[in-house]
A and B are shown apart, each in its own frame.
Chain A
């Protein structure tokens, strides 16, 4: 084998702060040439043969034997040592704080992780950017303002849960893997809306204080489950509906593909959040009160957020097809409002949270205007 030439090799280590001493094992290996091989007798359950299904070897296919047992309480060593491996007694702790399965688990996390990996897309490759055509000024401004909003809010669904991701016990690996895909999804959403705003003669519009307040409350959530209620159940549930509206109001196949693909991603996030809350509330029903309190606040902020012209008007202009059809756009929004609230309440039902009596969101769109 040819020797690799390393630039200035003589300098390497010349100012190193520590002196390297070969371990006793390496010295013995050098002297005797005999490998230790003791590690061959230290392992988890042995003889495991996971079988791939028709879609390859998925996480669910390796949840077998002792490896398929997800503990109710995370390991007390609090290290990154893989679940099912032999763990030395002296591994350093990473001080995970989410150590109970119920605090983060959702039975669909594995399925959603694999689905997310399989359904990734590229905003550069998969959006037919060359089909963009100049739009009338009002429509372009409305689309750019909507894209500004999404660029502003989307990454909170990466920043906020990943704050908790690093605190989740490594035994709940499947949840962490799913949250990693969510972060990737939100990176793509942030980039694709920014790209759309900058791709057709417009640019970014205005950020809003109320959106920022809403994001801050999500970011500052006191627990992962509370954050899930605010973020996945309410916030992403609403954004999911907005993405669906986005496909409806698309002015070209560019926006249509953007919104449809984002919608697919977002529905996975909502699916995780709903099932997590269901499992958490089953395990700790007393948490319902705290989650209701948080949703009281979150719904109030959401109503305020959607009471400013920067959010109400672009959607109405796009739905109506221009400023001259603003009324028609508002009428369409009114028709959709009941659907939005209904889906949110049904997701709360699915999570085992009877939200109906406390829900601040009016079922009638006219009530938003005090009518």
Chain B
């Protein structure tokens, strides 16, 4: 079983997304390219960055990135390992993160998760499709160990 943030882990979520079908259609389509970056708990060392792309109601791309800029993401969601792990543990336990631990809430404060982008308009896509991103991550509750 692949582990977060391996591309295969996201591909597994993508399969669940496809299986959900109607619930993601109801949220509306999303056209966005972004990356998830996991940093070590201790410092700024990057443990891994995965580039993802949604086209419509499907995850169409998931790949490990060494050069994020070349992937041209609209935004990169960055966070330390323990923050990501806490979110995923809460999702596994309750089907969703606790109220203040959602992607948007954490990125708002900007300490535990933060966004990087070359342009505010492209960063704003994080907000435009936020419900889709949130529900996508919540599918992790259905992943089997």
Interface residues in chain A, defined as those with a beta carbon under 8 Å from any beta carbon in chain B: 54-55, 115, 118-120, 240, 244-245, 247-248, 250-253, 256, 260-261, 263-264, 266-268, 270-271, 274-275, 332, 335-336, 339, 343, 346-347, 349-350
Contacts and interface: CB of A to CB of B under 8 A. Distances in A.
B104 A260 contact: yes
Contact of A267 (B31, B56, B110, B124): B124
A260 B128 contact: no
Interface in B53-91: 55-56
18 contacts: A54-B55, A115-B128, A119-B27, A119-B28, A240-B124, A244-B104, A244-B127, A247-B108, A248-B100, A251-B99, A253-B99, A260-B134, A263-B130, A264-B129, A266-B127, A267-B124, A267-B125, A350-B119
Interface residues of B, number: 25
A343 B125 CA distance: 13
B105 A270 contact: no
B104 A263 contact: yes
A10 to B, nearest CB: 51
Interface string B115-136: 0000111001101111100100
A253 B99 CA distance: 7
A339 B128 CA distance: 18
B108 to A, nearest CB: 5
B100 A264 contact: no
B45 interface: no
Contact of A264 (B29, B109, B110, B131): B131
A267 B127 contact: yes
Contacts of A250: 99
Nearest to B125: A267
A264 B128 contact: yes
A350 B121 contact: yes
A270 B99 CA distance: 26
A271 B124 CA distance: 8
Contacts of B134: 260
A118 B120 contact: no
B120 A349 contact: yes
Given A245-B108, A247-B108, A240 B131 contact: no
A32 to B, nearest CB: 52
Given A118-B28, A245-B108, A335-B109, A264 B102 contact: no
Instruction: Pick the 9 closest A-B CB pairs, nearest first.
Output: A119-B28, A118-B28, A346-B120, A267-B127, A248-B105, A267-B128, A267-B124, A244-B108, A55-B56
A238 to B, nearest CB: 14
A239 B119 CA distance: 20
Contacts of A268: 128
A346 B29 CA distance: 27
Nearest to A126: B26
Contact of B56 (A54, A240, A270, A275): A54
